[in-house]
Amino acid sequence: MRTYLSLVVFLTILLPLACAPAAEETATAAVAAAPVQGGLEGVWKVTATGTNTSPQPRLCIFTKQHYSYMGVSADQPRELLSDTPTDAERLAAYDFFFAHSGTYEVSGSTFTIRVVVARSPNYMSDGSETYKYQVEGDTLRLTYNPSWEPETETVITLTRVE
């Protein structure tokens, strides 16, 4: 009976204590797993593009090194497709849809995306795009000069949704 109790005490109390990580290991792991406060990581919804404060749906997702950005660039909602859409209907539905994903690198208050896959094959070959960014709470402001209009500065405002 005494051997049995010793074994129970060892298995339930002493073994877990001996195998538990040190307090500093636990704290370091928790900090590493937590998203950087005020950083880019997360899911962001576009709430304004320039002076348009009611843009069509757009989402941007940042992980530690990758991003994905997709949405509708039209001013109005897209028309729903019929059960057997014509080529013209398909073109109208997808003409204002954009999507691209890839990697990004942060340097100070800027980050550079490197497109890996995109709806437009031309955008995949362009290489990269650099943005200035500012995070204030759950608001992210991106400022950039599009490669297709380098003289135009564009500001996009996003709100963190996750």
Look at residue 66 and tell me whether its pLDDT is greater than 90.
yes
- For the entire predicted model, the pTM comes to 0.72
CATH architecture entry for 40-160? Beta Barrel (2.40)
Using 50, 70 and 90 to split pLDDT, how confident is the model at 38? low
Q: What is the CA radius of gyration of the chain?
A: 24
Q: Name which of 9-23, 42-56, 114-128 the model is least confident about.
A: 9-23
